[in-house]
């Protein structure tokens, strides 16, 4: 429920921002508190591959950190 609220809050504040499917998956997992290593395991990709959508999310939402992305501020 908290995750859904966080996602809805991010979407409401940033209605004009479009996310790729991978970016949305990574954002969902960041919101759950998973590390890059665990995100890679869940998505069955290598850890270095996780860095790209994380970087794009930080840029798109103008976040300074993954923590900020997780809480949607």
Please give the structure tokens belonging to residue 24: 């949305």
pTM of this prediction? 0.72
Distance CA 5, CA 48 (A): 29
Let me know: does 55 contact 26? Beta carbons within 8 Å: no
The CATH number that applies at residue 58 is 1.10.10.10
Residue reference for tokens 């921002």 = 17
In the chain, the number of structural domains is 1
The 10s digit of each residue's pLDDT in 17-73 is: 899 999 999 999 998 999 999 999 999 999 999 999 999 999 998 988 888 877 775
Distance CA 46, CA 62 (A): 25
Domain that holds residue 49: 2-71
């Amino acid at each position: 429920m908290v995750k859904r609220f966080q996602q809805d809050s991010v979407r409401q504040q940033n209605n004009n921002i479009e996310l790729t499917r991978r970016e949305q998956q990574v954002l969902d997992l960041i919101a759950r508190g998973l590390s890059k290593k665990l995100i890679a395991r869940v998505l069955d990709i290598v850890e270095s591959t996780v860095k790209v959508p994380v970087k794009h999310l930080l840029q798109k939402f103008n976040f300074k950190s993954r923590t900020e992305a997780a809480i949607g501020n």
